[in-house]
């Protein structure tokens, strides 16, 4: 009987080990596939970010690196392209006509992707003429989208990287980074009525003097009520609640060739 019990225990142990092995294989397979999908999504955006080479023309206008006709043939909701120097952020910006959160977990082809896409919501126009435009993008440990906005947490990086650029068909908008800081979870466009000049003034003052421990502010920067702000918004690192915001004020609007 003792021998039988030992044999039975041995068989039970083998079964447990087999089950654990199966679970381990499933676990590795699941996360391996997810990592592969994330890699392919990033690769797709990296291919899109290959700039058009300068043509050698003497035209003084800046050359756009974006073939909007080709992009919009893939998805008509691609309406702009952002370049944040020294962050690897060179990506299209989309806005859904049907659902403000459509691109939260979809790529530019409308397929499911954890990385999602950079997007704005219907509260913002498509020509960047609003007092405040908010562009959303994910932050993931594996990289991609707006993850590298967190470079602006470093004071030296903030000081050395003063501008980002947004391209639309025929235009290049240059934004001067005036502040970057941790913020709460408020939906900015639903929380502030920027048509009210008193509200706008108070909000602009906050941009220049945020009440946050994690912050960098451009020394000497000022804002007028007529200034246009673009806010780049992403999640905080480490799963903490709130948002990390990088704020730029329009410094130049010029035609491209």
Q: Give the domain ranges of the chain.
A: 68-255
Q: What global pTM score does this model have?
A: 0.81
Q: What are the pLDDT digits (tens) for 160-208?
A: 999 999 999 999 999 999 999 999 999 999 999 999 999 999 999 999 9
Class of the CATH-defined domain 68-255 = mainly beta
Q: Give dist(CA 34, CA 256) in Å, integer.
A: 39
Residue 151 token pair: 């470079």
pLDDT of 13 higher than 90 = no
Average pLDDT on 98-120 reads 96
Q: How far apart are the first and last CA of the chain?
A: 89
> Higher pLDDT residue, 45 or 22?
22
Q: What are the pLDDT digits (tens) for 44-63?
A: 666 665 543 445 556 678 99
Classify residue 232 by burial, with Cβ atoms within 10 Å: 0-12, 13-18, 19+: buried
Q: Where are the alpha helices (DSSP H) in the chain?
A: 2-48, 68-74, 155-160, 188-191, 197-208
Q: Give dist(CA 31, CA 33) in Å, integer.
A: 5
Q: Give dist(CA 245, CA 231) in Å, integer.
A: 6
What is the reported pLDDT for 53?
Answer: 41
Q: In 3D, which of 218, 243, 239, 216 has the Cα closest to residue 151? A: 216
């Amino acid at each position: 009987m003792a021998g039988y019990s030992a044999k039975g225990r041995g068989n039970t142990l083998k079964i447990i080990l087999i089950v654990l092995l199966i679970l381990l294989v499933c676990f590795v397979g699941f996360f391996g596939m997810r990592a592969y999908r994330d890699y392919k999504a990033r690769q797709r955006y990296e291919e899109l970010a290959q700039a058009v080479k300068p043509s050698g023309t003497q035209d003084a206008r800046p050359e756009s690196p974006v073939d909007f006709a080709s992009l919009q043939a893939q998805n008509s909701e691609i309406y702009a392209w952002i370049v944040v120097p020294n962050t690897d952020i060179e990506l299209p910006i989309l806005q859904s006509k049907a659902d403000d959160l459509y691109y939260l977990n979809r790529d530019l082809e409308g397929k499911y992707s954890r990385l999602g896409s950079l997007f704005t919501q219907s509260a913002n126009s498509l020509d960047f003429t609003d007092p405040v435009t908010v562009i959303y993008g994910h932050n993931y440990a594996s990289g991609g989208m707006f993850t590298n906005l967190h470079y602006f947490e470093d004071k030296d990086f903030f000081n050395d990287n003063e501008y980002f650029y947004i391209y639309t068909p025929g235009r290049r908008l240059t934004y001067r980074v005036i502040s970057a800081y941790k913020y709460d979870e408020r939906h900015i466009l639903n929380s502030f009525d920027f048509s009210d000049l008193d509200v706008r003034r108070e909000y602009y003052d906050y941009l220049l003097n945020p009440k946050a421990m994690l912050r960098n502010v451009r020394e000497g920067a000022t804002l007028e009520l007529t200034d246009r702000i673009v806010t780049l918004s992403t999640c905080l690192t480490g799963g903490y609640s709130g948002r990390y915001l990088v704020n730029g004020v329009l410094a130049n609007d010029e035609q491209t060739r």
